[in-house]
């Protein structure tokens, strides 16, 4: 595994072109092409499945907030929703041939090692236009195979300032995606949680940002722990039982006396 680089030496102006495109244009056909290719790849090699994709609102501003283990998480996250997910990605990815794919696929950079206000401006612009943004609660990738101890406050800031619906999302199995080099292909499950909404705060304090981030991350941890303990089938069955119980309760309330 390559060593993490925590600071991008390139100046802010280098990334202005990518932010301008993301603020003024929707993802191009490149997005759909990559999504189809990665979906097929994921289904074949990682048997990727999802739970509760219907919980992602199909209109209006939405923030998808997943955990982060692998570079493939971008693709796993967007495979199961028809929303065109606009990813906030580390600036180092915007180099070489890959930057063409990211740029035309609707991805925008966040400069590592800098307080990058441009990334937040771009995210807000997309959300104000009713778009869907993905932002990792942990900031960077966890390289231990375990969830981080605590969320970064950035996700809390974006949630509070925008007032958008936040969908906590657990991606289970992607920590072992690199095992393909050993001809080991883990099963990957993506579970979308119930949307969370915070009252909009124009200029949240650092403590408010962290509190909101922690609440979102606690829900991700809960979803992840469920997948870890019960697996996809176990969680899916529990959700079916909950829906049956809910329908049964409604039926009893509406039945004539």
The domain spans of the chain are 14-254
> CB–CB of 7/113 below 8 Å?
yes
pLDDT at residue 247 in the model: 78
Residues 24-52: what's their mean pLDDT? 92
Residues 196-210: what's their mean pLDDT? 96
Give 66's strand partners.
169
Q: Is 195 exposed, middle or buried (0-12, 13-18, 19+ CB in 10 A)?
A: middle
Identify the band that residue 254 occupies on the pLDDT scale cut at 50, 70 and 90: low
Average pLDDT over all residues of the chain = 90
Residues 145-172: what's their mean pLDDT? 95
Pairing of strands 132-134, 85-90: parallel
Q: In this model, does residue 255 exceed pLDDT 70?
A: no
What residues have CB less than 8 Å from 123, skipping those under 6 apart? 86, 88, 108, 133, 135, 158, 162
Identify the band that residue 180 occupies on the pLDDT scale cut at 50, 70 and 90: low
Q: In this model, does residue 177 exceed pLDDT 90?
A: no
Residues 50-56: what's their mean pLDDT? 95
Of 238 and 18, the one with more pLDDT: 18
Q: Rounded to 5 degrees, what angle do the CA atoms 197, 218, 209 make?
A: 55
User: What is the per-residue pLDDT across 94-123, written as a single tens digit (0 to 9) for each?
Assistant: 988 888 989 899 999 999 878 899 999 999
Q: What top-level class would CATH report for the domain 14-254?
A: alpha beta
pLDDT at residue 76 in the model: 93
Q: Residue 147's closest CA among 137, 157, 156, 158?
A: 137
Q: Which tokens hold the place of 35? A: 């999504």
Q: In this model, does residue 244 exceed pLDDT 90?
A: no
Q: In this model, does residue 252 exceed pLDDT 80?
A: no
pLDDT at residue 4 in the model: 58
Q: In this model, does residue 257 exceed pLDDT 70?
A: no
Identify the band that residue 141 occupies on the pLDDT scale cut at 50, 70 and 90: confident
Q: In this model, does residue 142 exceed pLDDT 80?
A: yes
Identify the band that residue 5 occupies on the pLDDT scale cut at 50, 70 and 90: low
Q: In this model, does residue 2 exceed pLDDT 60?
A: no
Q: Residue 165's closest CA among 60, 54, 51?
A: 60
Q: Please give the backbone phi and psi of residue 132, each rounded to the nearest 5 degrees, phi first.
A: -125, 120
Burial track 119-158 (b if 16+ CB lie within 10 A, e otherwise): bbebbbbbbeeebbbbbbbbbebbeeeebbeebbbbbbbb
Q: How far apart are CA 115 and CA 112, in angstroms?
A: 8
- Give percent helix, percent strand, percent coil of the chain, each to the nearest 5: 50, 15, 35
Residues 153-164: what's their mean pLDDT? 97
pLDDT at residue 183 in the model: 72
Give 88's strand partners.
108
CA 16 to chain centre: 23
């Amino acid at each position: 595994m390559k060593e993490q680089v925590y600071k991008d030496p390139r100046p802010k102006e280098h990334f202005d072109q990518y932010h301008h495109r993301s603020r003024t244009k929707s993802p191009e056909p490149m997005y759909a092409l990559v999504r189809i290719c990665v979906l097929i790849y994921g289904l074949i090699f990682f048997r990727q499945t999802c739970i509760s994709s219907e919980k992602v609102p199909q209109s209006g501003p939405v923030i998808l907030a997943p955990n982060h283990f692998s570079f493939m998480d971008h693709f796993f996250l967007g495979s199961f929703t028809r929303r065109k997910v606009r990813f906030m990605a580390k600036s180092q990815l915007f180099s070489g041939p890959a930057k063409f794919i990211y740029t035309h696929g609707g991805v925008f950079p966040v400069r590592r090692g800098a307080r990058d206000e441009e990334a937040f401006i771009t995210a807000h612009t997309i959300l104000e236009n009713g778009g869907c943004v993905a932002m990792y609660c942990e900031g960077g990738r966890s390289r231990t195979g375990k969830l981080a101890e605590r969320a970064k406050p950035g996700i809390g800031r974006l949630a509070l300032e925008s007032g958008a619906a936040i969908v906590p999302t657990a991606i289970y199995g992607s920590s072992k995606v690199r095992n393909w080099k050993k001809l080991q292909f883990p099963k990957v499950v993506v579970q979308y949680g119930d949307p969370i909404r915070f009252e909009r705060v124009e200029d949240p304090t650092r403590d408010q940002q962290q509190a909101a981030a922690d609440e979102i991350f606690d829900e991700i941890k809960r979803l992840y722990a469920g997948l870890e303990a019960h697996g996809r089938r176990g969680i899916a069955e529990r959700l079916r039982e909950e829906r049956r119980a809910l329908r049964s309760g409604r039926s009893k309330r509406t039945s004539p006396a």
